[in-house]
Chain A
Amino acid sequence: MDRRTFIKLTAVSTTATLGGCSVPGQQFIRFIPEEELKPGLAEWKPSVCPLCSAGCGLTVKVMQADVEVVKDGQHGVVTRGVAKKLEGHPAHPVSQGGLCARGQAAIQVTYHPDRLVQPLIRRGNRASGTLEPTTWDQAITELVAKLDALAGNGHQAALTILAGGRPTLRRALFDQFAAKFGAAPTVVHEVFSDDLLRYANGKSFGAAQLPTYDLGNAGFVLGFGADFLGTWNAPVAHAAAYGRMRRGRPGKRGYFVQVEGRMTQTGAVADQWVPVQPGTEGVLALGIAHVLLRDGLRPATTGRAGALIDGWASGLPEYAPEQVAAITGAKAERIVKLAHDFAGRGPAVAIVGGTPLAHTNGLFTALAVNALNELSGVVGRSGGVLFTPQLALPVAARGSLAQLVASPPQLLIVDGANPVFSAPVAMKVRDALDRIPYIVSFTNFLDETSALADLVLPDHTFLETIAEALPESGSSSAVISIAGPVMTPLFETRGAADVLIDVAGKLKSPLDLPWGSYQEMARASLAPLGDEAWTTAQKQSGWWGELPAAATTRPTAAEPKPRPVRYAAPTFSGDVGDFPYHFLPYASAALLDGSLAHLPWLQEMPDPLTSAMWSSWVEINPKTAAQLGVALGDVVEVTSTAGTLRVPAFINPAMAPDIIAMPVGQGHHSYTRYASGRGQNPLEILAPVAHPETGTLAWAATRVKVARVSDPDGRLIMFSALGELRENPLEGETR
């Protein structure tokens, strides 16, 4: 073929191909829109962030978009208003216009490519069977039949509901369902649960809830391990208040000291960082109280929090600075100086949460810090510890995950909990679920627990239904975060609460739930707050203000003869000789307890202290690393009494040499394309140590040994250049 023919033929074939195919690309059926929309103009609608328990108010940018739908068996597109961007609601008392990076990524929940779009039902058994699409009618018939079978045999108590940790009206609805059906107590599972602190606050202050810290008016803040600016409690509320404490009052800058073994994101901004031996934080608190009393810096108190501490009335003789120094590892002079600063800088508040309470002596630590706050005179005062008034809801009994594992029910309904991933593997939750004949899961994604379910019911996302939360803290006034749906559901999903109400009515002996829908239930819950409450809430992402006395929870009375606690050294799983290091799993700044690992924006977000992303790592102090011959990125083997993990190492100077820390969040086996098979889960080697008093998981009570395995294997992905950091670990970060 000559050149000319070749060019001719090429031209002919290209033109033919392009010409023949230019048209069909734009032919599709368009349905008439159901809503009035202004093209190109955004509308901002209120909503509530669903990602953690804080319950921040959102404002959602809603604009028109073409949505693919199927109507009467016909595929086509329809123009609808859809959510495009989330911001903090400026009027909301918890978020105060702010929104954390995690909240910003919440938009990805709705548009996730692996979102469940229709009900799934298991064909065959769990080992070899598959989950296959089914219709809602079939799914609901199946669930009703299973519940009827239990009720027919009089085995109502063989139903258990397993729920996630967020306090919501939806959970109250599930509780009502369980109570009316006669189910076993609902199990609420969270790996980083604050139940121990709630229990301690109930004993010390009569309010069994998380406290709200009035940081904006505080002069001195003493943090005990709580990552309150990063992942703990209500970080957005804390950050706003912290900003006011530091820079909001001309001429007065609040002082902040953080006590912890491994520097958290919060500890990184402190004026002083005080490392202490893990599990001795409460001793330091009482050491400070001792100096305050000894030097007459604060008048002695006789309140209920102090009465719970052994030796309080006699000035805590066992907690003199030298003794405290011997236990905690902090210098005696430093303790005296801290106590004097604590007393001399205006309202001084101590914050405890997270790791210190995850030791076996966590209750002592919590009660000790509570007593210190009482001595500081800041409980219920400006600049101190407040308790956000709570809307009174019917009290429901709670079971524990350990009980569920010990005696698995016949039927399990899972709503927003994923214990197969987020409980220590040694608790054998997976085995227990295998022994449950039927599992139903309300979820948006096929996570590890839902993957074991026999019936998967896809839920609306928070943007497609009523979004609500009952913030436990973060505001001085009562808050109920609630807002209506901001967009029409994209897929064949149904709101879990509405499905449950539907099922309750279809049972052979229907349950007498007083509402026809979730929306009616939400409205009824707000009814005690006045006629305007619902309309007000719809406009501004929630209701806040003063609760009528009848609608408020009452404080519990003090124990008549409290049994005072004293320090007992924490106990650990693993002998010091064999397992020389403390193992400290912590909530990842991006992925929290792993429930957000499916959102690619958060996978991509560099960790604030290590710059690592899309991966897992263990943090090792440089001295320890030198002894073990480990450099940045090297693969190490971490072994506990419960198992072994192979993880890349990160050399972190901001931690004690006897601690090995590792973020929780990665290591999912089944949680969408972005999280599955990525990184390791520290909970796999966590020993299932429980607090003696509350039975909650003591997640810092495991010891480990570490050994170097190999050179970097490429699994540690960092925002900074790995090679440079390996050459010079401390210089590389300042690049």
Chain B
Amino acid sequence: MRAITLFVCVVTAAAMTAGCSWLDDRPRPVVGASYTASGQSTDQWMSTARPTFGAAVNDYFWVKSTPIQPIEFPHVTHVEKGLTCTDYCHETVTKGPRAGLPSVNTCLICHIAIATDRPRIQQITAMQEKGIDLAWQRVFGYPETAHVRFNHAAHIRNNVECATCHGDIAHQTVAQRNVDLHMGFCVNCHREKNAPNDCLTCHY
């Protein structure tokens, strides 16, 4: 019994160290690929529904990783200063399907002059000098396998508040996923507002 427990623990430990690279679903750039005489690249490109076995397991159990943002962006500070969501940062929210996330260049429109003594601002200024952007991680959204399409602009046109789906982000620092956007949530709201409830409204 003890031997079996020990064995499972060892396997688990091995999975946690070696397995991590195996489960790692980061995109791998192709460099220095060599070519065989048949003209085929020797690199194998995964083309299954999910990049790794781990990603598939996570998807199956609806496990979403907690996003880790490159900097702790204080939404509340900016809203208090009178900026609205759509001013610079999420400006395509009124124009198209996606709200858009600001690049470091957008931050520096103001922060080239404002609060330049703060460590976080110095951090992003340094990033811009190096040509590196903020790799924002998605907080809301659906896995590809849900086959859902969401168009922000249509909702904004119909006066749906940002907070309806995104919660009270205006009083948060880093955005948190505190509204559960399951299908029932969408359908209820569509019913209340007499919005189209056909499957093809969202699943197309």
Question: Chain A's nearest CB lies how many Å from the CB of B5?
Answer: 7
Residues 707-721 (chain A) with a chain B CB within 8 angstroms: none
The stretch of B18-26, B77-85, B112-120, B187-195 that contacts the partner chain: B18-26
CB within 8 A of B63: which of A18, A20, A28, A446? Answer: A18
Q: Which residues of A contact B33 (CB under 8 A)?
A: 117, 133
The interface size bin for chain B is 35 or more
Contact: B27 with A20, CB < 8 Å?
no
Contact: A38 with B92, CB < 8 Å?
yes
Q: Which residues of A contact B67 (CB under 8 A)?
A: 26
Q: Which residues of B contact A450 (CB under 8 A)?
A: 39
Q: Which residues of A contact B101 (CB under 8 A)?
A: 39
Which among A9, A32, A447 has the greatest number of chain B C-beta atoms within 10 A?
A32
Contact: B128 with A68, CB < 8 Å?
no
Q: Which residues of A contact B12 (CB under 8 A)?
A: 12-13, 16-17
Residues 30-77 (chain B) with a chain A CB within 8 angstroms: 30-35, 37-41, 45, 52, 54-55, 57-58, 61, 63, 65-68
Contact: A31 with B132, CB < 8 Å?
yes
Q: Which A residue sits closest to B1, measured CB to CB?
A: A1
Residues 135-163 (chain A) with a chain B CB within 8 angstroms: none
Question: Chain A's nearest CB lies how many Å from the CB of B74?
Answer: 21
Contact: A22 with B135, CB < 8 Å?
no
Contact: A30 with B38, CB < 8 Å?
no
* With A24-B24, A70-B29: A120-B35 Cβ-Cβ less than 8 Å: yes
Q: Which residues of A contact B105 (CB under 8 A)?
A: 32
Contact: A16 with B65, CB < 8 Å?
no
- B133 sits at the interface (CB 8 A): yes
Residues 112-150 (chain A) with a chain B CB within 8 angstroms: 113-114, 116-117, 120, 130-133
- A583 sits at the interface (CB 8 A): no
Residues 669-722 (chain A) with a chain B CB within 8 angstroms: 669-673, 676-677
Q: Which residues of A contact B134 (CB under 8 A)?
A: 30
Q: Which residues of B contact A671 (CB under 8 A)?
A: 39
Q: Which residues of A contact B137 (CB under 8 A)?
A: 26
- B173 sits at the interface (CB 8 A): no
- A445 sits at the interface (CB 8 A): yes
Contact: B15 with A25, CB < 8 Å?
no
- B96 sits at the interface (CB 8 A): yes
* With A30-B133, A30-B135: A21-B30 Cβ-Cβ less than 8 Å: no
CB within 8 A of B97: which of A40, A71, A669? Answer: A40
* With A18-B54, A39-B98: A24-B40 Cβ-Cβ less than 8 Å: no
Q: A79–B101 Cα gap in the complex (Å)?
A: 11
CB within 8 A of A451: which of B24, B39, B57? Answer: B39
Q: Which residues of A contact B37 (CB under 8 A)?
A: 130, 451, 670
Residues 12-66 (chain A) with a chain B CB within 8 angstroms: 12-13, 16-18, 20-33, 38-41
Q: Which A residue sits closest to B22, measured CB to CB?
A: A21
- B171 sits at the interface (CB 8 A): no
- B121 sits at the interface (CB 8 A): no
Which among A20, A23, A116, A670 has the greatest number of chain B C-beta atoms within 10 A?
A20
Which among A28, A41, A672 has the greatest number of chain B C-beta atoms within 10 A?
A41
* With A20-B20, A39-B100, A40-B96: A70-B5 Cβ-Cβ less than 8 Å: no
Contact: B100 with A676, CB < 8 Å?
no
Contact: A24 with B20, CB < 8 Å?
yes
Q: Which B residue sits closest to A23, measured CB to CB?
A: B65
Question: Chain A's nearest CB lies how many Å from the CB of B4?
Answer: 5
Contact: B133 with A75, CB < 8 Å?
no
Q: A68–B33 Cα gap in the complex (Å)?
A: 15
Contact: A677 with B38, CB < 8 Å?
yes
Contact: B16 with A5, CB < 8 Å?
no
Question: Chain B's nearest CB lies how many Å from the CB of A624?
Answer: 36
* With A39-B92, A41-B96: A13-B11 Cβ-Cβ less than 8 Å: yes
Q: A5–B4 Cα gap in the complex (Å)?
A: 10
- B103 sits at the interface (CB 8 A): yes
Q: Which residues of B contact A72 (CB under 8 A)?
A: 131
* With A25-B55, A75-B29: A133-B95 Cβ-Cβ less than 8 Å: no
Q: Which residues of B contact A12 (CB under 8 A)?
A: 8, 12
Q: Which residues of B contact A113 (CB under 8 A)?
A: 41, 45
Q: Which residues of A contact B61 (CB under 8 A)?
A: 18
Q: A677–B37 Cα gap in the complex (Å)?
A: 12
- B104 sits at the interface (CB 8 A): yes
Q: Which A residue sits closest to B45, measured CB to CB?
A: A113
0/1 interface trace, chain A 68-96, chain B, CB 8 Å (1 if under): 11111001111100000000000000000
Q: Which B residue sits closest to A671, measured CB to CB?
A: B39
Question: Chain A's nearest CB lies how many Å from the CB of B153?
Answer: 9
CB within 8 A of B39: which of A40, A78, A446? Answer: A446
Q: Which residues of A contact B20 (CB under 8 A)?
A: 20-21, 24
Q: A12–B15 Cα gap in the complex (Å)?
A: 12
Contact: B35 with A131, CB < 8 Å?
yes
Q: Which residues of A contact B128 (CB under 8 A)?
A: 32
Contact: A17 with B19, CB < 8 Å?
yes
Q: Which residues of B contact A451 (CB under 8 A)?
A: 37, 39
Contact: B45 with A676, CB < 8 Å?
no
Q: Which residues of B contact A27 (CB under 8 A)?
A: 26, 68, 135
Q: Which residues of A contact B104 (CB under 8 A)?
A: 32
0/1 interface trace, chain A 304-339, chain B, CB 8 Å (1 if under): 000000000000000000000000000000000000
Contact: B39 with A41, CB < 8 Å?
no
Q: Which residues of A contact B27 (CB under 8 A)?
A: 28, 68, 77
Contact: A9 with B8, CB < 8 Å?
yes
Question: Chain A's nearest CB lies how many Å from the CB of B48?
Answer: 14
Residues 446-471 (chain A) with a chain B CB within 8 angstroms: 446-447, 450-451
Contact: B25 with A670, CB < 8 Å?
no
* Given A78-B133, A79-B133, 17 new contacts (CB under 8 A): A5-B5, A12-B12, A16-B15, A17-B54, A25-B26, A25-B52, A32-B103, A38-B92, A39-B98, A40-B96, A72-B131, A114-B39, A114-B41, A116-B35, A133-B32, A450-B39, A672-B40
Closest 4 CB pairs of A and B: A40-B98, A446-B39, A30-B135, A40-B97
Question: What residues make up the interface of B, taking CB atoms closer than 8 Å to A?
Answer: 1, 4-5, 8, 11-12, 15-16, 19-20, 23-27, 29-35, 37-41, 45, 52, 54-55, 57-58, 61, 63, 65-68, 92, 95-101, 103-105, 128, 131-135, 137, 152
Give 30 pairs: A residue, B residue, CB < 8 Å, sorted on A: A1-B5, A13-B15, A16-B15, A18-B61, A21-B23, A24-B20, A24-B24, A25-B23, A25-B25, A25-B52, A25-B54, A25-B65, A26-B65, A26-B67, A27-B68, A28-B27, A31-B131, A31-B132, A32-B128, A32-B132, A33-B103, A40-B92, A40-B100, A70-B31, A76-B132, A79-B103, A79-B133, A114-B40, A120-B35, A676-B39
